Structure 1
Amino acid sequence: MEIDKIIDTAFEPISNAVAAVIFYSIPFFDLEIKLVLLWLVAAGLFFTVYLGFINIRCFWHGIDVLRGKYDQDNADGQINRFQALMTSLSGTVGLGNIAGVAVAISVGGPGAAFWMAVMGLFGMSTKFIEVTLGVKYRQHGSRRHPEAISGGPMYYLRAAFNQFHKPRLGKFMAGLFALCCIGGTVGAGGLFQANQAYQQALVVTGGEAGFLAERGWLFGIFMALLVGLVILGGIKWIAAVASSVVPIMAITYILAGFAVIGVHYEAIPDALQTVFEMALYPEAGIGAMMGALLMGVQRATFSNEAGLGSSAIAHSAVRTDVPVSQGMVGMLGPFIDTVVICMITALVIVISGAYVEGGGIEGVELTSRAFASGISWFPYVLSVTVFLFAYSTMISWSYYGLKCTTYLFGEYDIVENIYKVIFCVFIVIGSATQLSNIILFTDSMIFAMAIPNIIGLYLLAPEIKKDLQVYLQKLGIR
């Protein structure tokens, strides 16, 4: 048996066992609705209304903050606002935008793209509150490296329950989040990214007859070495690479998307009509609409991470003494990621009609086929883009997992080094396993993070609402 099949066979039962717990479902008509998705949707709706539609009324203010209009001299932190957003985006603007959208459409139909965008808008409010809390409750936890900052749900969860005199429960919830985040890190940051990067590399090197066929492990070793070179340098190296790579790869991908859409410009009205009709008035009835909605919510959350708390870890290292200001920057992430980039991918797939040709669940192969319909040589460009998207996501998620690992086991160099080695090993495993098993395990651990995180957001929401009111009054913003 080949190495790839051995690894995949061993990994499948683990994926099934974890998913059975996290994705517990209840029957609704002919569908099984996952409770964790209702949990995320409810949070997005609640925080949007509770914070006065901050995602809309403070959108342009967030851009001004990102531009440095309200920066402070000598503020505490390790990276600037742009680097913090790019580090966060490098973890979200990745294969979730390329492969994740394809998965959503291949399973839930074109209507899933509409619900992805809707969830992205509501996710902005959730992202605002978790980023604000991440900065507010961050701390300098390392004696050997006092300049290093650690922040994220682990710290504000503990603080939330301390306010209610439940320190033990707070430690438990913080520890639960950290464990889930580590699992999500090796899943979203290592397994899924490496798998899809390998699949695209396989396409452009001859497919099943090419050199890389059944040599996913070899590709994984190459990726692991490249990731290891950056993550050894910590958040400053990660932020430097992310702030250089993310804008270039995002702009390249967006321009290519517009090029393909332009080639099929006559099909744009019909494509938009298809997306809206299958989202709101599907021929197959309410069941089809709910299926598209649930798949859209699931892939949108996987893509932009709103409600999961992971981005708060990256934003916590920003140079600022005003937590709310970075929350304004953080909420731009889901808009860029899900409303803009994911919708470009969806339009390319729907306009080209590539999704009709597929059979069952598809990832990056579907996106590649759709782009090739407008630009025949684009699969080669996409392979480079996929590689960069995967690479940037890996280095960002490695940092998330690192901070959760040091939270649990202490901020020691030996702990950091062991974690980094394990993370790189999972990159190799990801290149050698099947997409279905990758998605099952990754989604399970990613969505598990939302359970303790959102509880903390609810508990601390009144506090953040007061901070927001003070902040807006000080700046004269209504």
Structure 2
Amino acid sequence: MQDMTLKAASLDTWINDLVQPLTDALSRFIFFSVPVFGTELPLIVLWLIFAASFFTVYLGFINLRGFKHALDIVRGKFSDPKHLGEITHFQALTAAVSGTVGIGNIGAVAVTVSIGGPGAIFWVILAGFLGMTTKFVECTLGVKYRTVNADGSVSGGPMYYLRDGLAAKGMVKFGKFLGLFFAASIVIGCLGIGNMFQSNQAYVQLLEVTGGQTSSLLVGYGWAVGLVMAVLVALIIIGGIKSIANTTVKLVPFMVALYIIGALFVLVMNAAQLPSAFASILSGAFTLQGAGGGMLGVMIIGFQRAVFSNEAGLGSAAIAHSAVKTEAPLTEGFVALLEPFIDTVVICTLTGLVLVTCFDTATIMNGDVKGIELTSAAFASKLSWSPIPLSIAAFLFAFSTMLAWAYYGTKGWTYIFGEGKGKELTFSLIFCLFIVIGASVQLSAILDFADALIFVMAIPNLIGLYILAPEVKRDLAEYWRELKD
């Protein structure tokens, strides 16, 4: 038995040693930084911050003005089952939310606070608020330029509005290049944020509830846990978006409610610490000294983690929203702005508050426990039995995220290599293989790999959004007029 454990552990070590040098090189390339007031600021994160701010102002704060209308659409007030598409507005929302509400809401928020301190939470919230508008723009365009295939299935997303939207403006070659660039990026990127990171942190949480890093029977068997998750994912994703949506429409409300109720329960128990928690978040957000290079450093840390969580500006969610049953693309833009609100403004904020009310800043930033283990310890400090339901929530978060990202990657794959069930099955097998790899390597390697590959998608996507923004603004003005009539 001991010999088998050593062999299993050595397999995990071998996989990690193979992946780490590649992730280090890729991360240095993607997160190229420039010095600003003594702080190193990654250009790709500045690119996302500026875009979210620009679209919010350019569209007149539609993230606030359109919030109630978005809720009406999700409730089915403007739905028509006869419209082209594969899934309802609510199913599209749950499918996309399943891709954003993942382990990052539990583990990556803890990593963020560990690096940037409580002040990073403020910037996470602001990034979620601004990201609502970016989601509105990209998902509106995703539906407008989608392709309905001969069998009634739908293919859409940034690669299609980059290719066809820019072609309509006379930029045929440029649009084709950006479309292919995005498709290739999401095929590779989905293996990081929507796959390896999820299985990795789900495995870490299972270790915690089965004895920890030293005594758990699962130590060294990350590959086995990943294999089980891969099989479960494969059983659903082979059925396409309808199968995924039918699963997420039941799974997402349950897992979100489970986590929110648990977090609120802890915060009620920590009610006396809430005023000081809010004070530390606000003061830490605007500090001129401290972690991450002062205020600018903390801001960048918060924005980077928020985008990692809600994916605003990356274009991924537009792929799921494109499959909705509607003849008015703007309706799905409104639905999409709810995603960053649920994912970042609500869930990530609750996670941050749980951490700050349970531990002091020094413990969070200087302790040996990081990631999802830190969040689990925070819950357990008030509810000794909480690691078990938290591990269930973590597994469900990871599982649902992998379902959505498998679909995103598949659509990128078929955009490059052509539509067809055989080609979809090929990519599904590749995706499931990386689930096993993800559960077998260390957290640092996964974070670097996931961050680097996911952020590169923002480059072609935001170029297209800037070019097509006047079109969205005109369509929005017309939509409001028609709605009033």
Fold in common (TM above 0.5): yes
2:278 is equivalent to residue 275 of structure 1: no
2:146 is equivalent to residue 138 of structure 1: yes
In the alignment, the residues of structure 1 paired with residue 468 and residue 434 of structure 2 have an alpha-carbon distance, to the nearest angstrom, of 35
Q: Which amino acid aligns with 1:321?
A: E
In the alignment, the residues of structure 2 paired with residue 368 and residue 351 of structure 1 have an alpha-carbon distance, to the nearest angstrom, of 14
Q: Please give the secondary structure, in 2, of the residue aligned with 1:147.
A: coil
> Which string of whole-angstrom CA distances, capped at 9 and with x for unpartnered residues, describes residues 42-101 of structure 1?
110110011011001111111111111111241001000000000000000111111121
Show the counterpart of 1:220. Answer: 226
Q: CA deviation at 1:210?
A: 1.1
Show the counterpart of 1:365. Answer: 373
Compared CA separation, residues 375 and 361, structure 1 to 2 (3 A): closer
Q: Please give the secondary structure, in 2, of the residue aligned with 1:319.
A: coil
2:359 is equivalent to residue 347 of structure 1: no
Show the counterpart of 2:314. Answer: 308
In the alignment, the residues of structure 1 paired with residue 26 and residue 407 of structure 2 have an alpha-carbon distance, to the nearest angstrom, of 23
**Which segments of 5 or more consecutive residues in structure 2 lack a partner in the other structure?**
1-8
> Which string of whole-angstrom CA distances, capped at 9 and with x for unpartnered residues, describes residues 246-293 of structure 1?
100100100000110111111010011011110023554993212211
In the alignment, the residues of structure 1 paired with residue 329 and residue 20 of structure 2 have an alpha-carbon distance, to the nearest angstrom, of 42
Contact 2:40 2:297 (8 Å CA) reproduced: no
> What is the aligned counterpart of 1:453 among 455, 461, 465?
461
Show the counterpart of 1:175. Answer: 180
Show the counterpart of 1:394. Answer: 402
Q: CA deviation at 1:313?
A: 0.2
> What is the aligned counterpart of 2:423 among 411, 415, 430?
415
Show the counterpart of 1:62. Answer: 70
Q: CA deviation at 1:22?
A: 1.1
2:320 is equivalent to residue 323 of structure 1: no
> What is the aligned counterpart of 1:335 among 331, 341, 348?
341
How many residues are treated as equivalent by the alignment? Answer: 474
In the alignment, the residues of structure 1 paired with residue 392 and residue 369 of structure 2 have an alpha-carbon distance, to the nearest angstrom, of 23
In the alignment, the residues of structure 1 paired with residue 140 and residue 298 of structure 2 have an alpha-carbon distance, to the nearest angstrom, of 32
Show the counterpart of 2:384. Answer: 376
In the alignment, the residues of structure 2 paired with residue 112 and residue 129 of structure 1 have an alpha-carbon distance, to the nearest angstrom, of 26
Show the counterpart of 2:203. Answer: 198
Show the counterpart of 2:165. Answer: 160
Q: Please give the secondary structure, in 1, of the residue aligned with 2:41.
A: strand
Compared CA separation, residues 245 and 309, structure 1 to 2 (3 A): same
Q: CA deviation at 1:413?
A: 1.8
2:58 is equivalent to residue 50 of structure 1: yes
2:255 is equivalent to residue 255 of structure 1: no
In the alignment, the residues of structure 2 paired with residue 104 and residue 222 of structure 1 have an alpha-carbon distance, to the nearest angstrom, of 29
Contact 1:354 1:366 (8 Å CA) reproduced: no
In the alignment, the residues of structure 1 paired with residue 420 and residue 293 of structure 2 have an alpha-carbon distance, to the nearest angstrom, of 51
Contact 1:96 1:303 (8 Å CA) reproduced: yes
Q: Which amino acid aligns with 1:352?
A: C
Q: CA deviation at 1:112?
A: 0.7
Contact 1:259 1:374 (8 Å CA) reproduced: no
In the alignment, the residues of structure 1 paired with residue 34 and residue 287 of structure 2 have an alpha-carbon distance, to the nearest angstrom, of 24
Identity %: 49
2:29 is equivalent to residue 29 of structure 1: no
In the alignment, the residues of structure 2 paired with residue 200 and residue 288 of structure 1 have an alpha-carbon distance, to the nearest angstrom, of 32
Contact 2:209 2:388 (8 Å CA) reproduced: yes
Show the counterpart of 2:153. Answer: 148
Q: CA deviation at 1:354?
A: 6.2
Q: Please give the secondary structure, in 1, of the residue aligned with 2:83.
A: coil
Q: CA deviation at 1:190?
A: 1.1
Compared CA separation, residues 156 and 281, structure 1 to 2 (3 A): same
TM-score, length of structure 1 as denominator length: 0.97
Contact 1:179 1:404 (8 Å CA) reproduced: yes
Contact 2:34 2:41 (8 Å CA) reproduced: yes
Contact 2:38 2:293 (8 Å CA) reproduced: yes
2:449 is equivalent to residue 441 of structure 1: yes
Show the counterpart of 1:209. Answer: 215
Contact 1:102 1:349 (8 Å CA) reproduced: yes
> Which string of whole-angstrom CA distances, capped at 9 and with x for unpartnered residues, describes residues 275-330 of structure 1?
11100235549932122111100010010010000000000000000000110000
Contact 2:190 2:409 (8 Å CA) reproduced: yes
Q: Please give the secondary structure, in 2, of the residue aligned with 1:32.
A: strand
Greater displacement, 359-368 / 173-182: 359-368
Contact 2:116 2:292 (8 Å CA) reproduced: no
Counting only pairs closer than 5 Å after superposition, residues 109-148 of structure 1 correspond to structure 2 as: 109-141=117-149, 143=150, 146-148=151-153
Compared CA separation, residues 25 and 360, structure 1 to 2 (3 A): farther
Compared CA separation, residues 469 and 360, structure 1 to 2 (3 A): farther
> What is the aligned counterpart of 1:406 among 414, 431, 434?
414
Q: Please give the secondary structure, in 2, of the residue aligned with 1:373.
A: helix
Contact 1:181 1:449 (8 Å CA) reproduced: yes
Show the counterpart of 2:4. Answer: none
In the alignment, the residues of structure 1 paired with residue 38 and residue 433 of structure 2 have an alpha-carbon distance, to the nearest angstrom, of 41
Q: CA deviation at 1:214?
A: 1.2
Greater displacement, 369-378 / 190-199: 369-378
Q: Please give the secondary structure, in 1, of the residue aligned with 2:122.
A: helix
In the alignment, the residues of structure 1 paired with residue 196 and residue 360 of structure 2 have an alpha-carbon distance, to the nearest angstrom, of 26
Compared CA separation, residues 175 and 235, structure 1 to 2 (3 A): same
Q: Please give the secondary structure, in 2, of the residue aligned with 1:2.
A: helix
Q: Please give the secondary structure, in 1, of the residue aligned with 2:382.
A: coil
In the alignment, the residues of structure 1 paired with residue 252 and residue 276 of structure 2 have an alpha-carbon distance, to the nearest angstrom, of 32
